[in-house]
Amino acid sequence: MEKPAVLGGTPVRENKIYYGRQWIEEDDISAVGDVLRSNFITCGPMVSKVEKELAAYTGAKYAVAVSNGTAALHCACIAAGIREGDEVITTPLTFAASANCALYVGAKPVFADINPETYNIDPKSIREHITPKTKAVVAVDFTGQCVEIEEIRAICDEYHLIFIEDAAHAIGSAYNGKKVGSLADMTCFSFHPVKTITSGEGGAITTNNEELYKKLVLAHTHGITHEEELMEDAPHEGRWVYEQISLGFNYRMTDFQAALLDSQLKKLDGFKEKRQQIVNRYNEAFKDLPGIIVQKEIKESDTCRHLYIIRLDLDKLSCTRREFFDAMSAENVQCQVHYVPVYYFPYYRHLGYEKGLCPNAEEVYKGIMSIPLYPKLTEEEIEDTIHAVKKIHDWYLK
């Protein structure tokens, strides 16, 4: 048996690879350069262009580009009319922003548990957490796999809740043949460099609802409008007049970011295919390892996978998750854990959240780590990652 590098053996790789990485090519760079050489580097034509393309790609009627995925979630909560006294149901197995957005508008995040096989929010648990104060559900397409959209839609319709989909991981995914972005009341995307396509920092919200769209537009630019039909005090003395009619933020995307996003969007389907190929390779390589549990996929989801998670079956291994993680690092395959349950953080603890709220999420969290997954991974890097997982697994298998 091969000795792990962490115990003095030879590492699988000489140089480190990380769990995620953007793919920027010369055409992306020249698209950004073109905008930087033009008259408008913000508030120009590229933002509207990419908004149209995002709408076309996702099949949504409207898209609003914003400065990041967190801003997208914040705008969605504003547009949904969520405020103090309201409750918003979300998952604990996510990036903090999925819950923080409720706090931004004075509402209370309520954590529903996950399905222990798919790791996505469990519709049954959503139902159990509904109270008269519940206003919205923020459902996260974790790792890119679609949540159970049909079931969540039915619950939201029954209780008149707004369905916000946090699709930060899921651009390019589809549910029953329909692209993510066209399915919930509002869908939020992130274009951070670790996500599937990037604009540096960036985000977007898509919707089919015109009322929500108008509110999103206001929310991301100070609540200020230039449209006379929206103004209270119109008609005005001249074209220079604008009005602030609600309280909004400056969450605009710049035009050079929009140019990068526009260029990346053209590559999304190619990225998706490469990601799927790597996922298939990993699934095949790990399916017979007794100490590794592979994430289950629902048949409705055609997933553009953002993360590949291995879950350790700690009863079958003689190591802890930490030892496995550190052993992978020593092999020069840098993993990450997605995520520490949100309510474990001190900030949430101080708000009164306690461990034990979501037993499935807590149990899954104990064994998970994300291994490298991005389209730029070379054949050799994929093989090395598989080799490292098998090497550490076999060493510690009871």
Ligand X SMILES: *Cc1c(COP(=O)(O)O)cnc(C)c1O
Q: Which residue type does 381 have?
A: E
As a 3-state breakdown, the chain gives helix, strand, coil percent values, each rounded to 5, of: 40, 15, 45
Asked if 100 interacts with ligand X (CB under 6 A), we say no
CB of 348 to ligand X, least distance (A): 16
Tell me the sheet residues that pair with 137.
Answer: 89, 163
- CB closer to ligand X out of 98 and 303: 98
Distances (CA, A) of 283 to 131, 271, 292, 295: 40, 18, 10, 9
Best CA proximity match to 255, nearest among 32, 22, 56, 64? 32
3-state secondary structure 239-255: CCCCEECCCCCECCCEH
Asked if 74 interacts with ligand X (CB under 6 A), we say no
- CB closer to ligand X out of 192 and 391: 192
Q: Which stretch binds ligand X (CB under 6 A): 8-16, 90-98, 235-243, 269-277?
A: 90-98
Asked if 278 interacts with ligand X (CB under 6 A), we say no
Reported in sequence order, the residue ranges of the chain that DSSP labels E, i.e. its strands, are 62-66, 87-90, 108-111, 134-140, 162-166, 174-175, 178-179, 186-190, 203-207, 224-225, 243-244, 292-294, 301-302, 308-312, 368-371
Asked if 98 interacts with ligand X (CB under 6 A), we say yes
- CB closer to ligand X out of 73 and 327: 73
In the three-class reduction of DSSP (H, G, I as helix; E, B as strand; rest coil), residue 302 is classed as strand
- CB closer to ligand X out of 120 and 225: 120
- CB closer to ligand X out of 95 and 396: 95
Site for ligand X in 132-191 (CB under 6 A): 140, 166, 168-169, 190
Of 17, 88, 97, 204, the one binding ligand X by CB under 6 A? 97
Site for ligand X in 38-57 (CB under 6 A): none
Best CA proximity match to 355, nearest among 341, 372, 367? 341
- CB closer to ligand X out of 121 and 155: 121
Asked if 218 interacts with ligand X (CB under 6 A), we say no
Residues lying near ligand X in the complex (CB under 6 A): 68-70, 94-95, 97-98, 140, 166, 168-169, 190, 192, 203
